[in-house]
């Protein structure tokens, strides 16, 4: 039989990712003032068409970067080449204003919602181009808050420019082999030097090795280095390091060597380097010794980009699975959309997707309000709590859901050209970048120790519950889980409670955000109440409560015994123990 004679599956329809999404348009209609929504929604619809017709076909042109360290005569050159597809994606994201929108602030505090809505739509087809833009976004915020007058005059406008011809890309250099997420182990040192014409701040020379440096093709980076004699984080300062900025047109010209590009599991198109700084000139950002405090705005923004990236990847995989269910015929003529078991699985994924979109954009609203100076102290406290929790919870939950979407397409989903495998590999990094789940759980616990912050979070949740009609299914479950949070946060001396507490906190927050939307949309019908009820009943809240109750039931000896048994079960080889 000839291949032309066999059955060929009808491709699922390629819909506009904004207009066909079951969650985002309604959510934005609630979050944005009507005057802003009338302008923003047509632009998002236009972006959706552009992604389908122009950007998605670029996928075969996006290749791994290459590094040439020596020329034919043995001279060190460190020439980094990225693919034409990558260059096109970078220019596209720049022109779409993913960085300029939140800084020009045409829509005031709502500008963050607009920008991240674009990012969410673009993730599925952008091959992680948002990684360098996330770091550029964070660098722009640092320049805005703490940059010198010269940095604000010469660097900030280029970081937020929507013109690819003059826009800058920034890296973020923290990770070293000595510490990973633990920046207290940073070995890179900075020593002050005499000023020169063209310096943008107090000048230093930096010596060290940065082990995981993304956006290696960037114009600059913000970097942590030890400028004081203190151990730990107290002696760290934040610096602007010119990489391809006047007067340093290449990394080599500023004594920066690119040793190799990382061979990663995913994010292949992003050039991530191991590099050494051998007396690289840099300029201090903010006071010396305050590096961790200065870089905190970078982490807040990049963690939100990470969360949006996780949810955007799930958005794309779920859209493929939904479309496929409408064209795939099984069981003698029945569409997959008519198979109850199949639709049950996709409904579970859809409930998670709804919860994550509402959680992420609930935090984005707080970020926008905080940046524009209109957030209340309680809102600022919620942002501090929710940022690490949202980033970690999105990373923890999206990949298993994406795998379900892949399986929903059968063997077709497993084919590389569908793009789902690449998305899964790419999003795996979100479990690591900007903090693992356990690191972020520790950060959440640290944030919870601010006076009254947990109580204010719970009061916000209770206020939302009080505004709902009493008979909405799931309200008592949510109210109970919310009431347990202060008790569990007071018992975080138990070192085993971090991860389940983070999960419960994120699950409760997502439930409150879903409830807010269900209350708003009640008059127009729809499935928002059902999504809320299912999330509270089936989204893992009961599991997290059970884990926490079991750990809370252990006395001090019981905790130590569990820690001992954990070590015996894992069985770390003796030579690997410190």
Q: Where are the beta strands (DSSP E) in 88-229?
A: 170-173, 189-192, 203-213, 220-226
Q: How far apart are CA 88 and CA 60, in angstroms?
A: 12
Q: What share of the chain is helix, strand, coil (3-state, %, to 5)?
A: 60, 10, 30
Q: How far separated are the first and last CA of the chain, in Å rounded? A: 64
Of 413, 527, 513, give the one whose Cα is nearest residue 468.
513
* Tokens coding 306: 């990470």
Please state the three-class secondary structure of 271-282 as a single string. CCEEEEEEEEEE
| Stated length of the chain | 578
Torsion over CA: 212, 214, 219, 225 (sign):
negative
The dihedral region occupied by 173, where left means phi > 0, alpha psi between -120 and 50, and beta the remainder, is beta
> Among residues 530, 504, 503, which one has the least CA distance to residue 515?
530
Closest CA relative to residue 317, chosen from 64, 17, 11, 8:
17
**Residue 218 CA to its chain's centroid (Å):** 19
Q: Which residues contact 398 (CB under 8 A, 6 or more apart)?
A: 310, 311, 313, 314, 356, 427, 430
Q: Which helix (H) or strand (E) holds 257?
A: strand 256-261
Cβ-contact 82, 217 below 8 angstroms: yes
Q: Residues 565, 569, 572, 574: is their CA dihedral positive or negative?
A: positive
- DSSP letter at 534 equals H
Q: Return the closest-CA partner of residue 90 out of 48, 52, 46, 131.
A: 131
Judge contact between 62 and 72, C-beta under 8 A: no
Instruction: Report d(CA 213, CA 216) in Å as an integer.
Output: 6
Alpha helices in 147-279 (DSSP H): 149-154, 156-159
Question: Tens place of pLDDT for every residue, the chain, 578 residues?
Answer: 887 878 888 888 889 999 999 999 999 999 999 999 999 999 999 999 999 999 999 999 999 999 999 999 999 999 999 999 999 999 999 999 999 999 999 999 999 999 999 999 999 999 999 999 999 999 999 999 999 999 999 999 999 999 999 999 999 998 888 766 778 788 999 999 999 999 999 999 999 999 988 889 999 999 999 987 666 677 899 999 999 988 888 999 999 999 999 999 999 999 999 999 999 999 999 999 999 899 888 889 999 999 999 999 999 999 999 999 999 999 888 999 999 999 999 999 999 999 999 999 999 999 999 999 999 999 999 999 999 999 999 999 999 999 999 999 999 999 999 999 999 999 999 999 888 999 999 999 999 999 999 999 999 999 999 999 888 899 999 999 999 999 999 987 889 999 999 999 999 999 999 999 999 998 666 789 999 999 999 999 999 999 999 999 999 999 999 999 999 999 988 775 55
Work out the number of other CB atoms within 10 angstroms of the CB of residue 163.
11
Q: For residues 293 and 153, give the distance between their C-alpha atoms in angstroms, rounded to a whole number.
A: 23
Instruction: Region of 540 please: left (phi>0), alpha (psi -120 to 50) or beta.
Output: left
Distance CA(509)–CA(366), nearest Å, equals: 13
């Amino acid at each position: 039989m000839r291949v032309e004679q066999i059955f060929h599956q009808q491709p699922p329809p390629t819909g506009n990712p904004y207009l066909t999404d079951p969650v985002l348009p309604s959510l934005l209609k609630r979050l944005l003032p009507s005057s802003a929504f009338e302008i923003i929604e047509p632009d998002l619809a236009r972006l959706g068409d552009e992604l389908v017709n122009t950007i998605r076909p670029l996928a075969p042109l996006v290749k791994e970067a290459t590094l040439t360290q020596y020329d034919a005569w043995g001279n060190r050159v460190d020439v980094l080449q990225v693919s034409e597809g990558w260059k096109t994606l970078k220019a596209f994201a720049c022109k779409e204003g993913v960085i300029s929108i939140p800084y020009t602030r045409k829509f005031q505090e709502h500008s963050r919602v607009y920008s991240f809505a674009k990012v969410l739509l673009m993730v599925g087809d952008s091959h992680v181009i948002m990684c360098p833009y996330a770091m550029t976004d964070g660098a722009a915020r640092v320049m805005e808050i703490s940059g010198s007058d010269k940095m604000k005059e010469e660097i900030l406008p280029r970081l937020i420019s929507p013109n690819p011809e003059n826009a800058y890309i920034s890296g973020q250099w923290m990770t070293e082999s000595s510490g990973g997420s633990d920046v207290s182990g940073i070995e890179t040192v900075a020593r002050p030097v005499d000023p020169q014409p063209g310096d943008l701040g107090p000048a230093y020379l930096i010596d060290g090795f940065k082990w995981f440096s993304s956006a290696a093709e960037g114009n600059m980076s913000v970097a942590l280095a030890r400028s004081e004699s203190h151990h730990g984080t107290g002696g760290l300062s934040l610096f602007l390091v010119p990489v391809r900025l006047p007067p340093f047109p290449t990394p080599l010209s500023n004594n920066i060597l690119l040793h190799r590009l990382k061979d990663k599991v995913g994010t292949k198109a992003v050039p991530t380097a191991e590099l050494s700084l051998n007396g690289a000139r840099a300029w201090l950002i903010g006071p010396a010794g305050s590096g961790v405090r200065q870089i905190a705005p970078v982490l807040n923004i990049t963690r939100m980009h990470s969360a949006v990236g996780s949810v955007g990847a799930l958005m794309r995989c779920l859209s493929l699975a939904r479309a496929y269910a409408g064209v795939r015929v099984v069981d003698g003529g029945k569409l997959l959309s008519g198979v109850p078991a199949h639709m049950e699985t996709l409904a579970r994924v859809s409930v998670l997707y709804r919860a994550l979109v509402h959680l992420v954009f609930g935090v984005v609203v707080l970020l926008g309000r905080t940046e524009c100076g209109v957030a209340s102290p309680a809102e600022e406290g919620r942002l501090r709590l929710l940022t690490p929790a949202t980033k970690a919870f999105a990373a923890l939950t999206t990949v298993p859901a994406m795998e379900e979407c892949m399986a929903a397409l059968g063997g077709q989903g497993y084919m590389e050209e569908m793009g789902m495998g690449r998305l899964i590999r790419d999003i795996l990094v979100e479990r690591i970048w900007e903090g693992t789940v356990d690191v972020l759980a520790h950060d959440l616990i640290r944030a919870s120790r601010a006076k009254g912050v947990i109580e204010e979070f719970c009061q916000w949740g209770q206020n939302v519950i009080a505004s709902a009609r009493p008979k909405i299914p799931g309200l008592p479950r949510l109210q109970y889980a919310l009431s347990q949070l202060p008790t569990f946060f007071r018992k975080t001396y138990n070192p085993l409670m971090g991860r389940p507490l983070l999960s419960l906190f994120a699950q409760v927050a997502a439930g409150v955000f879903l409830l807010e939307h269900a209350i708003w949309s009640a008059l127009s019908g729809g499935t928002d109440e059902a999504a809320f009820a299912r999330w509270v009943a089936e989204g893992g809240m009961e599991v997290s409560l059970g884990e926490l109750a079991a750990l809370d039931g252990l006395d001090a000896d019981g905790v130590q015994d569990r820690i001992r048994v954990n070590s015996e079960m894992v069985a770390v080889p003796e030579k690997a123990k410190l």
